[in-house]
Structure 1
Amino acid sequence: MPEARPSPKYIQYPGIEFVSLYRKGGYHPVNVGDVFHNQYRVVNKLGYGVHGTVWLVEDTILKRFASLKVLTADASAISSELAVFRHLRVQQQQIPPAAGAAYVMKVFDDFEIEGPNGTHQCVVTELLGPSLAEDIEELYTNERFPPNVGKKIAAQIAHGIAYLHRCGVIHGDLHLKNILLHHPSLENCSLHEIQLYFGTPETLPIARRDALPITPSAHLPRHLVASSNPLPLLKLCLAFPQTVCIKICDFGEALLYRALSQLNINTPIQSNMPRVFAPPEILLHEATIPQPAMDIWALAVLLHMILTGGGLLFSSYHGIEKEVIREIVLTLGKLPERWWTQWVDRGEYFDENGMFVGDQSKLPKISRKLVKLSVDDGFSEEDLRVFEDLVRKMARYETNDRISADEVVRLIPAAWMTGA
C-alpha cells in the first residue's frame, strides 16, 4: 500500500490527499471534466483516503449524480472490497428489499481503468452526504445529536449491520467516518442544486517545496481539488428528524466471512480499525478467522459515541492499544486467563489479580454503569435501562457471548426508529 506521509518534494495542502501518492502504484490522476467508462463525468471531489480518491460524478446515461471511488493501483491489486461490492449489489437487487438494506450504501457499477500509475478498481455508488464525524456545532450548540435524532441514527445503523451479517458480510471498520448521512433528493438534483450543496470545484496548483517549476508528468493531475464544505449538506440531511437517514459505507476492511470460516488460518487478523473500536480479540492478536462478533463490539462503541456526543465506551487518552486494553479491564474486569497471560503490558497497570496498581487520581471515574448518559441528557429512564442492557450484551469478552446483530435490532425499541 502507498504510505501516508507528506511529500518531501511537493507542497502539501491541509485537507488534500498526499501529492507524493500520485506515482506508480498510487492514485490515478483525476481531473474535473474527465469521463470514466464512457458514462461518468467528474463534477467535483468528495474526499480521499490513503487507498483512493472519491469523486462526485454525473451519470450521463441514466441522468443522475453518483459517487465514484477510484482505488490506488496498489490497493486495487489486493483489496477484497470489490468482491464485497459485487456480492452486495446482487443482494440489493432483491424485490422487495430485505430489512435493513436501506441503511447500506447502494452499489451501482464497477470497472477497471488503466492509467499511468497502474490498474485501478473503480466503484460507482449512490451519492451520499457528510459522515457522522463532521462537526455539528453549527446545528446543535452542545455538539450532540438531539436524543430523538441520535436514537434514530443508532437504530438505523443496527438494522444496517444486521442486514450485512445476514448477507454474510463483516464490515470490519465501524466508526463515525464510515457512516454517512443520506438525503433522497441528491440523486436526481439538477446541476445547479448539486452546486448549492457541494459547491463548485476549488482547485489548487501542484507546487514544489523548492519553488522550482513543475515538470509535466502523466502521473500527476493538472491540479488538486479541495473537498467541499460539508455544512450545506449537513443542513439538508438533518433538517427534519423524521427524514434523517444514514448509510453504512467504506468496505475496504470488509470480508465475506462464510467462505473464510471454512479455512484453516493461523495468522492473526491485521485490522486497521481505530483501536478504540477494536474488540479485545483484535487488540490481543488472537483472532484469526473474522467473525460477526467483531462488528458487534465496535457497534457498541459506535452507538455510545453517537448518543453521548462522542463519549468513548472505554476511554483512552490517545487511542494507544495498551491504554485501550487498560480501560476495558477497568470497566469490565480482568481478561480471560489466556489473554491476561499474553498481555505483556499488564504489569504496568495491574497486579496478577487484576487490581489496578497505578495512580488512581489519573484515571477517569468508574461507575457500575457502562453507559455515560443520564436523564439530564434528555433520555428517559427506560431509554437508559434499555441501552445499558444492550451495551452489556454486546461488549462481552468472549465472542460467543455477544449477542447477534439481529438480537441488537430486537432489543432496540421500535420507537427509536421514528425520530419523533
Structure 2
Amino acid sequence: MVSVNLFRAARAKILVPSIAAVFFQRPHVRQYHGGQRPGQEYKCGVNAEPLHRYRPGGYHPVVLGDSLSNGRYMVLHKLGWGSYSTTWAAKDQLHDRYVALKISVAEAKRSKEIEILQKLAASPRFHAESSYVNQMLDHFSVVGPNGSHNCLVLELIGPNVSDVIENYCGEDRLPSRTARSISRQVLKGLDYLASNGIRHGGLHSLSERDFIARLGELEMGLVTRQDGKPLSSNVPTHIVRSSSFRNKDIQSLLSSPSIKIIDFGEAFFNFDAPKTLGTPPPVRAPEIVFGDRLDNRIFELVTGQPPFDAVMSTPPILVQQMIELIDDELPSRWKVKWREMESEAVYDEDNWTLQSWMEEVYFDNDKHPEFTREEIRAMAKLIARLMKFEPSLRATPTDILAEPWLK
C-alpha cells in the first residue's frame, strides 16, 4: 500500500508482489454503523471498525490516552483500521516524537511482516530509495481482554493514496503531474525492496494539541449494548473515527507529493513465496488465479480505476479480461486449467487492447484530461511491459524507471 508522506520527517496500503496492486488497496474498505447492523450486540453512532470484532481473538480495545509498552507510547488519535488491525497516532515519550502504532488482532495469521521490517531496518540507509519505504521503529506485544496482540511502531506518515483520490480529487483520479511523481517514487521504493530480497521532521516539535489538529477534529461515539446491560471488558467504551487530514495539507501534498510504501502484512521474501495471497480479485496477478507461485508486476493512478472489472471479478472473467488486454500468450502450464474455466468467462465484443482501453477510460467525456494521447499511449506501452503472463518476463522496477514517461 502507498501513503502520502504528510509528515515528511517521519509517515498511498503496499502489496509487494505486484507493482500494479500497490495503488488499489484501502486500509478500511468496510464501513459499518454500529446501530444499524442487524443482530449487533453493541451500537455506536460513529462509522468505524465493526464492533463485533471486539471479542477474544479480535481487536484490542484502545482508548485515547492509553499508555502502552510500560508507558512509553501515549495514544492520541486513530489513523485507520483494517480487517486485521487498528492503527493509532501516538507520542513516543522516550524519544519525544510522534509515531504510528499498528495493533494486530489477537488471532492474526502468522506473517513475515515483523521479520521483513527488521531486515529493512537493519539494511544500510545510504540506499537513496530507502526513503520511500516506511520503517519500523520498535515492536512489542500488548495483552488485553481479547488476547495478546502484536504492536508495530512505525514512522508516522499521511493518508493513503486511494483515500486522497476518493476524498480530495474531483474526478476520482490524480492530477497528471502527481500521478507521474507517485509512480516514480513507488517504483524506486519497490526497487529498494527488491534489492533486499523482498517482494511488497517537521511535526515532531508541535504541541500535542497542534499535532492532533493536523490529523483532524476528534470524533468519538459512546459504545452501548443493545439490551442496555453494562459493556464487557472486550469492548472499548468509545469508538474513534479515523483521522481526516486538513484539505490545505492535502492540496499541498498533491502539488509536491512524497510517498512511502507501507503495510507489509502480505509481503514475503523471494526464497519463501506463499502459495496464496490475499490480493483483491481485480488486481490479482495471473499466477495467483492459476495457483502458481508469485513474482513481481501502473493504470489506476492515471485513469482512476483498475484495468480489470472490479464488480464481476470471478477468476474466469478476470482471466478472460487479461487475455483480451495483455499482448502475450498464456503459458502452456496454465492452458489446461483455463480450458476448464473458460465456459464461465464473459467475452467483450469490442475487442479492447490495453492501449485502446486506457484511452477510452482516460479520455471519458465527463473528465478533463491533462495527459495527451501520445502520453497515454506511452504509458500503455510501459504498463504492457509489466503485464506479462510469465512472471519472469515482466519488467523490473529498475527497467521501468528508465522509461521516458517517468522522466
TMscore range, shorter length: 0.7 to 0.9
Residue 256 to residue 57, structure 1, CA distance change in 2 (3 Å):
same
> For 1:162-201, what aligned pairs fall within 5 Å after superposition?
162-171=191-200, 185-201=202-218
- Percent identity, please: 27
Q: Following the alignment from structure 2 to structure 1, what is the Cα–Cα distance between the partners of residues 198 and 233?
A: 38
One-letter identity of the residue aligned with 1:207: T
Deviates more, 1:7-16 or 1:317-326: 7-16
Structure 1 residue aligned with 2:105: 72
> For 1:53-132, what aligned pairs fall within 5 Å after superposition?
53-75=86-108, 78-91=110-123, 94-96=124-126, 98-132=127-161
SS at match of 1:123: strand
Whether the 8 Å CA contact 1:44–1:200 is kept in 2: the answer is no
Residue 22 to residue 227, structure 1, CA distance change in 2 (3 Å):
same
Instruction: Say which of 329, 337, 340 aligns to 2:332.
Output: 337
Whether the 8 Å CA contact 1:162–1:409 is kept in 2: the answer is no
Instruction: Say which of 269, 276, 286 aligns to 1:270.
Output: 276
Residue 84 to residue 95, structure 1, CA distance change in 2 (3 Å):
closer
Q: Following the alignment from structure 1 to structure 2, what is the Cα–Cα distance between the partners of residues 138 and 46?
A: 15
Matched, 1:157 2:190: no
Structure 2 residue aligned with 1:179: none
Number of residue pairs matched by the alignment: 363
Whether the 8 Å CA contact 2:324–2:351 is kept in 1: the answer is no
Q: Following the alignment from structure 2 to structure 1, what is the Cα–Cα distance between the partners of residues 345 and 63?
A: 52
Q: Following the alignment from structure 1 to structure 2, what is the Cα–Cα distance between the partners of residues 146 and 221?
A: 40
CA deviation profile, 1:217-250 (whole Å, cap 9, x unmatched)? 22222221111224x1x53143165631111111
Whether the 8 Å CA contact 1:66–1:187 is kept in 2: the answer is no
Whether the 8 Å CA contact 2:387–2:394 is kept in 1: the answer is yes
One-letter identity of the residue aligned with 1:218: S
Instruction: Say which of 331, 337, 358 aligns to 1:372.
Output: 358
One-letter identity of the residue aligned with 1:153: I
One-letter identity of the residue aligned with 1:392: A
Bigger RCO (CA 8 Å, 6+ sep)? 2
Whether the 8 Å CA contact 1:41–1:58 is kept in 2: the answer is yes
Matched, 1:347 2:343: yes
Structure 1 residue aligned with 2:64: 32
Q: Displacement of 1:286 after TM fit?
A: 2.0
SS at match of 2:379: helix
Structure 1 residue aligned with 2:288: 282
CA deviation profile, 1:76-118 (whole Å, cap 9, x unmatched)? x623211112112112xx242x132111112211111222211
Q: TM-score, normalization: structure 2? A: 0.81
Residue 368 to residue 390, structure 1, CA distance change in 2 (3 Å):
closer
Q: Displacement of 1:380 after TM fit?
A: 4.4
> For 1:234-249, what aligned pairs fall within 5 Å after superposition?
235-239=248-252, 243-249=256-262
Q: Following the alignment from structure 1 to structure 2, what is the Cα–Cα distance between the partners of residues 164 and 213?
A: 51
Instruction: Say which of 312, 316, 339 aligns to 1:318.
Output: 312
Residue 95 to residue 271, structure 1, CA distance change in 2 (3 Å):
closer
Whether the 8 Å CA contact 1:386–1:411 is kept in 2: the answer is no
Whether the 8 Å CA contact 1:52–1:72 is kept in 2: the answer is yes
Structure 1 residue aligned with 2:375: 383
Structure 2 residue aligned with 1:177: none
Q: Displacement of 1:185 after TM fit?
A: 3.2
Structure 2 residue aligned with 1:407: 399
Whether the 8 Å CA contact 2:136–2:155 is kept in 1: the answer is yes
Whether the 8 Å CA contact 1:27–1:72 is kept in 2: the answer is yes
SS at match of 2:202: coil
Structure 2 residue aligned with 1:213: 228
Structure 2 residue aligned with 1:8: 40
Whether the 8 Å CA contact 1:317–1:323 is kept in 2: the answer is no
Structure 2 residue aligned with 1:181: none
Q: TM-score, normalization: structure 1? A: 0.78
Whether the 8 Å CA contact 2:182–2:259 is kept in 1: the answer is yes
Q: Displacement of 1:396 after TM fit?
A: 0.4
CA deviation profile, 1:6-49 (whole Å, cap 9, x unmatched)? 66322365631121221211111111000111211000111111
Matched, 1:393 2:389: no
Structure 1 residue aligned with 2:78: 45
Deviates more, 1:334-343 or 1:51-60: 334-343
Residue 386 to residue 15, structure 1, CA distance change in 2 (3 Å):
same
Whether the 8 Å CA contact 2:178–2:256 is kept in 1: the answer is no
One-letter identity of the residue aligned with 2:280: P
Q: Displacement of 1:316 after TM fit?
A: 4.5
Q: Following the alignment from structure 1 to structure 2, what is the Cα–Cα distance between the partners of residues 273 and 12?
A: 31
Whether the 8 Å CA contact 2:355–2:381 is kept in 1: the answer is no
SS at match of 1:372: helix
SS at match of 1:54: strand
Unpaired runs of at least 5, structure 1? 172-183, 262-267, 297-302, 351-355, 416-420
